[in-house]
Chains A and B, each alone.
Chain A
Amino acid sequence: GDSVTQMEGPVTLSEEAFLTINCTYTATGYPSLFWYVQYPGEGLQLLLKATKADDKGSNKGFEATYRKETTSFHLEKGSVQVSDSAVYFCALGRAAGNKLTFGGGTRVLVKP
């Protein structure tokens, strides 16, 4: 079945540092890929998505490229802020019914 693996945290960075969170997936066919973010005390919200190979999703300075050859969807941000401190989830989805399979989540802590 489908599965998503992402790097374990926590990841601790200084403000303005470069952030990368690795995500790889196992799936047949052509799923869509997502990054969700969970700020403290809140539910998850969609950060970005890509629906086919070589698509790049971007939002709020974050980017991720759907790489089918390496089955990866790594999240990057060039210069993080303290407000980016959150838990980030990589997810894989099938069009029918929007049922998502999530990775384990990566906690990111940005220090001033």
Chain B
Amino acid sequence: DVKVTQSSRYLVKRTGEKVFLECVQDMDHENMFWYRQDPGLGLRLIYFSYDVKMKEKGDIPEGYSVSREKKERFSLILESASTNQTSMYLCASSLAGQSNSPLHFGNGTRLTVT
């Protein structure tokens, strides 16, 4: 089974702090994604990556950046956390080269910015 592991389940940070959310997958997937989940809004794509050192903006990239130095790891960075970034963050991965292969999700990191 594919395992996508997010380093923290719960995180509390202060406004203005730099925050790192880490995600590791163990199935050699090329594609990795960061979504945020908010009630009534579903999941919104922040950033994604098709390969090492490659990144592309999703629908809501403002206030975020990402890093993918190794194939298995995809980090989401909040440069200066703000209260409107309080949310559930979900990492996902998928296999490239197969049309519509499913996304495999981690269990999420619930971030609270105070």
Which residues 52-103 in B have Cβ within 8 Å of A in the complex?
A: 58, 90, 92, 94, 96, 99-103
Residues of A within 8 A of B43 (CB): 44, 89, 100, 102, 105
Residues of A within 8 A of B50 (CB): 97
**Chain A 69-112 per-residue mask, 1 if CB under 8 angstroms from chain B, else 0:** 00000000000000000000100010101111111110000000
Task: Indicate the member of A36, A44, A46, A51 with the most B CB atoms within 10 Å.
Answer: A44
Give me the interface of B with A, judged by CB distance under 8 Å.
Answer: 4, 31, 33, 35, 37, 40-45, 48, 50, 58, 90, 92, 94, 96, 99-108
Q: Can you spell out 19 A-B residue pairs with CB atoms less than 8 angstroms apart? A: A8-B40, A43-B4, A43-B106, A44-B43, A44-B103, A44-B105, A46-B103, A51-B99, A89-B43, A97-B50, A98-B94, A98-B101, A99-B45, A100-B43, A100-B103, A102-B35, A102-B44, A104-B40, A104-B42
